Amino acid sequence: MLLATDLDGTFLAGDPEAKVKLYQTLSRREDVLLSFVTGRGLESVLPLLADPTIPTPDFIICDVGATIVTGHDLLAVEPIQQDIAAKWPGELTVLEKIGERPGLVRQNVPQDRRVSYFCDPEAVTDDLAPLVAEIGCDLLYSASHYLDVLPAGINKGHTVTKLVEHLGIPKDRVLVAGDTLNDLSMYDIGFPGVCVGESEDLLLDATRDKERTFHATSPGTGGILQAIRHFNLLDDEHIYDPENDADDPGKSDLVMVYHRLPYDEVIEEGEVKRRRPKSPNGIIPTLLSFFTERTGSWVAWSIDDPKRGKFATHTVVDPKLYPGLVASRLPLSKKDVDVFYKRFSKEAFWPLLHTFWERARFKEEDWQVYCRVNKAFAEQAAAEVAYEGIVWIHDYNLWMVPAYLRELRPDVKIAFLHHTHFPGADVFNVVPWRREIIGSLLQCDYISFHIPRQVENFVDVARGVAPVEVIETEDSAPRFRTYGFALGLDTMPSVIDVGGRRVHLGANPVSVDTKRIEQTLASAAVQESIARVKDEFEGQRIALAVSRLDYTKGVLQQLEAFERALLEDPSLLGELSLVLVCVPAAGEMTVYKTLQNQIEQAVGRINGRFSRMGWMPVHFYFRPIPFEELLAYYANADVMWITPLRDGLNLVAKEYAAVHGLRGTSGTLVLSEFAGAAAELRGAVLTNPHDVSDMVRVFLQAVDMDEAEAKDRMRGLWDTIRHHDSKAWADGFLAAVEAATSSAPGDEVEL
């Protein structure tokens, strides 16, 4: 069977239930071919191919029949396309022939092998048809408003007929569908046809006496389903029924979907044991804070190895701290984890997001694994979430989850938090699967980034994929910096319209749990560690740098700047030490081995060049540092030096400021202007990590900063962090999701 259907008012119309039934029927049946047949130009059809809820057509007939391509690779269907092109006299010839006429306005939409106008009814005079016939063209007038000039004999019906002949499909196994007069030619051929409910009166009148044309009562997709039954093209049992697939919804009002579990898993005597995370800093404790007073599920992967015993799909996270939270473990093989996360995500997406596109490696076979794993995440989340509950998805590892989840559970509210930096279109569009990724994200109700610039970048990318209209904007100030630094922006889009559905956007920088930091600081163990570090560096000032092993963190540039600072100001020799903490990457992630060697060589060179009795310039710790120990270094650090080349936010900067704010001590935060936190933390001294001279200058400025200025800056940092702590962030994020889902009109995105 072939369904040849118009788009606007037909295949893209109808109630949500009818759309799901028809779209799923087409997606699941290999014996049913789909062809879009539209007056749109091909460029205007492309956004639909990025919408994961709409089945990909086998063929696309557009430009009112003047263009025909395959749906999966957009190749011209020959010899049909060549025959059409041979009849077209050219755009300029048509424009010159018609000239300027009152009531005719050229449509400013993409169009090939046709010239299309908006027209007043009185502008379609009797002389027009003979005029264009002189250059081998026909006129097509529809909906009392549209006028198309086409190659003679070319229309939707002609090209559908040629396609049916090309495929060798019997006429009675074809269904044509439309709703306006420019669809009439499809019914004139004699195929089984349907005028969907709410069709144009002129089309209904013109087809009323056609024996093989059915006038449906339901609009859009509902009318097509009525016609499929009317003509006995498919039995009812072959039409998708969501009731047959529907399991009882889950019980969790909030489902967190994250690539990591909220606890560490260790192997002891061949069995998996759960441990609280070694380090309570970072994003996971912040996300866990959502569940201190809520019930919910946390969906994450875990390696399924028969040698480890029976796989437990559900485990308790922490019955004391989070009694209502259950971990929903997604079983993955070690190979899938290696490809999905450790190789593909880190070698393809991570470098690109941080604007190192030349490092990105894209492999189609890895993308297929990535999609399969994302689909499994979506299925797990769909099973956990309650009816109309919230599913909160995290970061680029799970970009495709919204697409699969929206299909499985159209009732749920989907929120997405992008933790990493999101680049502009000139960088992101390098991704071969950008249309699929953006199409998936646009299935969300609410998408959050850390800062306004990242929101603006996302909209910039989305505009190249879908017809995006900015409906509402927000001022960045006073919450964020606006001018004078690399990521500044005065306003940001907050609501966009995409195909009739609104997607809400936000800038919600993650924060730290100040209460937990305060409690940890007050412990006897941490107080002892603070005293120990102070004694270890007695008589010296400390510059502290903490990051993961990653080329985006700018550690090599930092070491070069530190070496030059020692040369520029020899008084620092013996007086200032750099404590460099570099947390190793996962053992299997070999992409960072070369960088590790380069850092170790640079540290060795600097220490060999400048060390003297009793003093070493760089103290290098290449290991994970327990949070309690890290707090001791924060407390003793005179300068916190954070200079990533690009970073979505950076929580270390906030942790440092929180420690000094709680202790009432001064300290200077030097922060890369390419870290998202720079947009929020006005008390930081900003530097450009791509300019070593600037790094040296700002570093020396921070080291020599007047005590009064340092205290004033720290007060500003602490005010920001304590007013926007993790609880305020959590409450604000969920409030934004609720506001978005209660006010957003429409059903699903029609790109």
Numbered ranges of CATH 3.40.50.1000 in the chain:
2-87+155-244
Please compute the mean of the pLDDT values over residues 690-702 and round it to a whole number. Answer: 98
Length of the chain: 751
Numbered ranges of CATH 3.90.1070.10 in the chain:
103-152
* pLDDT for 744: 45
- Reported confidence tier of residue 396, pLDDT bands at 50, 70, 90: very high
Residues 304-361 have pLDDT tens digits of 877 777 788 888 888 888 888 999 999 999 999 999 988 899 899 999 999 999 999 9
Do 711 and 573 meet the contact criterion of CB atoms below 8 Å apart?
A: no
Do 715 and 654 meet the contact criterion of CB atoms below 8 Å apart?
A: no
Amino acid at 671: L
Tell which CATH architecture fits domain 522-723: 3-Layer(aba) Sandwich (3.40)
Count of other CB atoms within 10 angstroms of residue 344: 23
* pLDDT for 249: 79
Residues 32-73 have pLDDT tens digits of 999 999 999 999 999 899 888 899 999 999 999 999 999 999
In this model, does residue 750 exceed pLDDT 50?
A: no
In this model, does residue 528 exceed pLDDT 70?
A: yes
Count of other CB atoms within 10 angstroms of residue 28: 11
Residues 420-449 have pLDDT tens digits of 999 999 999 999 999 999 999 999 999 999
Q: Tell me if the domain spanning 103-152 has CATH number 3.90.1070.10.
A: yes
* pLDDT for 281: 47
Q: In what order do the strands lie in the sheet with 104-106?
A: 104-106, 115-119, 146-151, 137-142
Q: Report DSSP state, residue 675.
A: B
Residues 330-340 have pLDDT tens digits of 999 999 999 99
CATH number of 2-87+155-244: 3.40.50.1000
Note every long-range contact of 534-539, with CB atoms under 8 Å and residues 24 or more positions apart, other chains counting: 534/636, 537/577, 537/636
Q: In what order do the strands lie in the sheet with 576-583?
A: 618-621, 576-583, 541-548, 639-642, 668-672, 685-687
Position with higher pLDDT, 744 vs 191: 191
Q: In angstroms, what CA-CA distances link 363 with 56, 345, 349, 674?
A: 22, 11, 11, 29
Q: In angstroms, what CA-CA distances link 222 with 49, 228, 245, 581?
A: 21, 10, 20, 61
Q: How far apart are CA 9 and CA 381, in angstroms?
A: 33
- Token look-up 């290449």 returns 622
Please compute the mean of the pLDDT values over residues 571-597 and round it to a whole number. Answer: 86
* pLDDT for 692: 97
* pLDDT for 400: 97
Tell which CATH architecture fits domain 252-507: 3-Layer(aba) Sandwich (3.40)
Please compute the mean of the pLDDT values over residues 641-667 and round it to a whole number. Answer: 97
- Reported confidence tier of residue 14, pLDDT bands at 50, 70, 90: very high
Position with higher pLDDT, 744 vs 736: 736
* pLDDT for 16: 87
Q: How far apart are CA 5 and CA 22, in angstroms?
A: 12
Amino acid at 54: I
